[in-house]
């Protein structure tokens, strides 16, 4: 009586094996179909673009290489955006000599290369890639905007010929020193947040700098800013700064001062900032309302103050806002609410 059961079990196993083979076959066929579909889709990515096109944007399409796009046919191309793809190498751009803007944000590029012919380039975005060394861009003298956010760069270098830069973004890298910026006389914005910088240095030549952001670094002292006579916005939050100082030459222009999340114990040395509109000093060790009055009450342009997270707020939660408003009646916004 046991033989039929054994036979039935063997038959069941055979049936299951056949079913698995069929499923595997279908999966393989599906993979092949998907590959064919992907190839067909890649072939059609630029099907709707005319050869006179000046602006091409292909975002989040899992493109792995540039040559497969056959961009050479777009001889008038001025803007190329290939954001959020899987590109590992800059190539296939040799004949696109009219390009003014290249955007390779969020890809997998490790090296800057093959940009020899892009002499008309004005904007280059290589943020969120895997670049370790700044190289092979020093000939792009028409560049005004250069972005290297969130890479693995350790040194600011090989940029001395880029005298027309107005915006340089190097946030979220591994930079330890501010250097090699002396030729950037036209620079208006410098973004260095989330690095490992310990001090302000080599900034004196940046006479036209308007925005300096150096948040989340390792700064302990606010100095070295004497040459930044046109500075309008200074962001130094999330550092180890203990004293407000070094702003004597920023009398006329400074509008925004962000010193939040430091170790500052006193509001001082800012009474001369007559055009200050926003003062961010949250999460420090400030405890004296009288300092608000002596340093800020007379600045009529002041509209926003952030002071929450300081002892003067924590120890006076009920009366804090009323006190600030009484001392600074010109202010419209106190903290986030």
pLDDT (tens, 9 = 90+) of the chain, 337 residues, equals 333 333 233 334 444 444 355 444 444 344 444 443 344 344 568 888 888 999 999 999 999 999 999 999 999 999 999 999 999 999 999 999 999 999 999 999 999 999 999 999 999 999 999 999 999 999 999 999 999 999 999 999 999 999 999 999 999 999 999 999 999 999 999 999 999 999 999 999 999 999 999 999 999 999 999 999 999 999 999 999 999 999 988 867 999 999 999 999 999 999 999 999 999 999 999 999 999 999 999 999 999 999 999 999 999 999 999 999 999 999 999 999 7
Q: Which residues pair with 79 in a beta bridge?
A: 55, 101
Answer whether residue 36 is part of any domain. Answer: yes
Q: How far apart are CA 200 and CA 229, in angstroms?
A: 15
Q: Which residues contact 309 (CB under 8 A, 6 or more apart)?
A: 282, 283, 284
Answer whether residue 155 is part of any domain. Answer: no
Identify which of 327, 220, 241 has the alpha carbon closest to the alpha carbon of residue 283. 241
Q: Which residues contact 66 (CB under 8 A, 6 or more apart)?
A: 82, 87, 89, 90, 91, 92, 93
Position 44 scores a pLDDT of 66
Position 275 scores a pLDDT of 96
What the block records as the tokens of 54 is: 């000046």
- DSSP labels for 66-110? SGGG-GGG-TT--EEE--SS------S-TT-TT--EEE--SS---
Answer whether residue 202 is part of any domain. Answer: no
Give the H or E element holding residue 75: none
Q: How far apart are CA 114 and CA 137, in angstroms?
A: 10
- Domain span at residue 14 reads 1-44
Answer whether residue 30 is part of any domain. Answer: yes
Count of other CB atoms within 10 angstroms of residue 35: 10
Answer whether residue 186 is part of any domain. Answer: no
Do 214 and 197 touch, CB atoms closer than 8 A? Answer: yes
- DSSP labels for 193-253? -SS---S--S-TT-TT--EEE--SS------S-TT-TT--EEE--SS--------TT-TTT
Do 91 and 67 touch, CB atoms closer than 8 A? Answer: yes
User: Quick check: helix, strand or coil at residue 186?
Assistant: coil
Answer whether residue 6 is part of any domain. Answer: yes
Answer whether residue 35 is part of any domain. Answer: yes
Answer whether residue 335 is part of any domain. Answer: no
The DSSP 8-state label assigned to residue 5 in this structure reads H
Q: How many domains does the chain have?
A: 1
Q: How far apart are CA 310 and CA 329, in angstroms?
A: 20
With left for phi above 0 and alpha for psi between -120 and 50, is residue 200 left, alpha or beta?
Answer: beta
Do 281 and 259 touch, CB atoms closer than 8 A? Answer: yes
């Amino acid at each position: 009586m046991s033989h039929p059961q054994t036979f039935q079990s063997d038959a069941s196993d055979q049936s299951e094996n056949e079913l698995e083979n069929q499923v595997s076959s279908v999966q393989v066929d599906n993979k092949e179909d998907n590959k064919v579909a992907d190839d067909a889709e890649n072939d059609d990515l630029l099907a709707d673009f005319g050869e006179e096109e000046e602006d091409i944007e292909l975002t989040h399409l899992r493109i792995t290489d540039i040559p497969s796009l056959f961009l050479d046919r777009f001889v008038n191309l001025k803007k190329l955006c290939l954001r959020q793809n899987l590109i590992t190498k800059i190539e296939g751009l040799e004949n696109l000599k009219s390009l003014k803007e290249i955007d390779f944000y969020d890809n997998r590029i490790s090296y800057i290369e093959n940009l020899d012919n892009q002499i008309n380039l004005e904007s280059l975005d290589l943020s969120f890639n895997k670049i370790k060394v700044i190289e092979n861009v020093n000939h792009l003298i028409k560049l005004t905007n250069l972005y290297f956010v969130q890479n693995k760069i350790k040194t600011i270098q090989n940029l001395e010929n880029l005298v027309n830069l107005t915006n340089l973004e190097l946030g979220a890298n591994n930079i330890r020193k501010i250097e090699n910026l002396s030729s950037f006389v036209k620079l208006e914005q410098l973004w260095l947040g989330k690095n490992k910088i310990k001090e302000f240095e080599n900034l004196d030549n940046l006479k036209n700098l308007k925005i300096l952001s150096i948040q989340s670094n390792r700064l302990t002292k606010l100095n070295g800013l004497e040459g930044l006579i046109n500075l309008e916005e200074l962001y130094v939050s999330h550092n180890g700064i203990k004293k407000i100082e070094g702003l004597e030459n920023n009398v006329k222009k400074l509008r925004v001062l962000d010193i939040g999340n430091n170790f500052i114990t006193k509001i001082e040395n800012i009474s001369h900032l007559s055009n200050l509109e926003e003062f961010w000093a949250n999460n420090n060790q400030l405890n004296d309302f009288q300092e608000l009055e002596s340093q800020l009450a007379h600045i009529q342009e002041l509209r926003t103050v952030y002071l929450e997270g300081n002892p003067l707020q924590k120890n006076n939660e009920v009366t804090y806002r009323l006190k600030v408003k009484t001392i600074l009646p010109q202010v419209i916004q106190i903290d986030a609410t």
